[in-house]
Copies of this chain bind each other. A is one copy, B any other.
């Protein structure tokens, strides 16, 4: 049995696109497009800031990306609406199967945790709101090292907090690039490919792939 199973939070435990319905209420017909542009830009900013050693935390980056996405789509919304969209990041829905899968894994004796780009405050609020916090032994934020994934310093936190080698830890992400980043770092990795996305062409592959988090159970045995 692995020493721990570490999950990515945003996109894996928490559905970042659960904000689309709220976005739709402010921008009829554009909610999904706003959610997609927001998310893509958020990731881009984490990579660029880490490459250039210009860290700003995930709350700041998430707000910055929202502002860019609103302007890119030509959407002008009230400051209160902008704030409610950002605050929705503290209250994202879990994917439907997640609570049951985490309960099952924990019941089987697995040590669970998250290794996330989110700030500690975002993670505590979001995981509690989603009904997942009590199932996780470790809540690990890259804010401690001020470098976002896929920087090695971010993945190294997981091994340090768990106190085990990467090869003895399972890392789970719905973001293929994140699963591959963790593979590069030495973790045993599982990609939850919810949307039947193509494998990222980065010269490495996750060790396991499933369609929902429920498929993880067979992978960890």
With most chain B CB atoms within 10 A of its CB, the pick from A48, A50, A203 is A48
* Cα distance A5–B52 in the bound complex, in angstroms: 22
Report the copy number of this chain in the oligomer: 2
* Cα distance A67–B54 in the bound complex, in angstroms: 32
Contact present for B52 and A201 (CB under 8 Å): no
A87 within 8 A of partner (CB): no
The 0/1 profile, CB within 8 Å of B marked 1, for residues 165-203 of chain A is: 000000000000100110011000000000001111111
Q: Summarize A's interface: helix, strand, loop or mixed.
A: helix
A97 within 8 A of partner (CB): no
Q: Which interface class (under 10, 10 to 19, 20 to 34, 35 or more) fits A?
A: 20 to 34
What are 23 A-B pairs with beta-carbon distances under 8 A?
Answer: A40-B40, A44-B47, A44-B177, A45-B200, A45-B201, A47-B47, A47-B51, A48-B177, A48-B180, A48-B202, A51-B51, A51-B150, A52-B151, A52-B152, A52-B185, A54-B204, A56-B203, A64-B201, A64-B202, A68-B199, A68-B200, A68-B201, A72-B198
Which 6 pairs show the lowest CB-CB distances between chains A and B? A64-B201, A71-B198, A47-B47, A52-B150, A51-B150, A68-B201
Binding site for B on A (CB under 8 A): 40, 44-45, 47-54, 56, 64-65, 67-68, 71-72, 150-152, 177, 180-181, 184-185, 197-204
